[in-house]
Amino acid sequence: MKEIMADLDRWRAQGRRVVLARVVDIEGSGPRLPGAAMAVADDGEVAGSVSGGCVEGAVVAEALDILATGDRRLVTFGYSDDDAFAVGLTCGGTVHLFLEPLDW
C-alpha cells in the first residue's frame, strides 16, 4: 500500500472514489506476498498490482462492481477443476484478496 500512496493521495485530493484490493493470503506458489496492493479509481485508472499480471483485469471488474454496490468482500483467484474457465494464476497458486472502498 506504501508503493501506491502517491496515487491514493492524488485521487483522494481530486475527490475520486477508490477501491483498494490487498492480498491477504496465498496458498502454494504466488508472485506477491500478503500486503501487495492495487487500487482502482472510479474512471478505471489503476495503481499497483496484486499478482504477476494474471488477475489484475478481473480485479478491475470486481472493483468497479464494488464502486457500484459499496460492498466489501474477499475474492479468491486460483485454479480448481470445478472452475476451470475462471480467472486463475498460471503458476498454479491461489490468492485471496480483500476488496473495499477506500472510505476510511
Partner 1 sequence: MTSIYDLWRSAVTDSRPVAIATVVEGPGVGAKILVGEDIEPVGSLGDPDLDRVVVRDAIGELAGGRTGVRHYGPHGEAREETVSVFIESFAPPPQMLIFGAVDFTGALVRIAKVLGYRVTVCDAREVFATHRRFPQADEVVVDWPHRLLERVGDRLGPRDAVCVLTHDHKFDIPAIIAALGTEVGYLGAMGSRRTNAERLLRLEQDGADMDEVRTRLSAPIGLDLGGRTPEETAISICAEIIAARTGRPAASLSVTEGPIH
Whether 23 and 97 have beta carbons less than 8 Å apart is answered as yes
What is the closest distance, in whole angstroms, from the C-beta atom of residue 93 to partner 1 in the complex? 9
Residues whose CB falls within 8 Å of the CB of residue 101, separated by 6 or more in sequence, listed in order: 17, 18, 19, 20, 66, 67, 70, 72
Query: Residues 21 to 40: which contact partner 1 by CB under 8 A?
Result: 22, 24-25, 28-30, 33-35
What is the closest distance, in whole angstroms, from the C-beta atom of residue 85 to partner 1 in the complex? 26
Query: Would you count residue 100 as binding partner 1 (CB under 8 A)?
Result: yes
What is the closest distance, in whole angstroms, from the C-beta atom of residue 49 to partner 1 in the complex? 16
Query: Would you count residue 48 as binding partner 1 (CB under 8 A)?
Result: no
**Out of 27, 57, 61, 73, the residue judged to bind partner 1 by CB under 8 A:** 73
Binding stretches for partner 1 (CB under 8 A): 1-2, 5, 8-9, 12, 22, 24-25, 28-30, 33-35, 72-74, 96, 98, 100, 102, 104
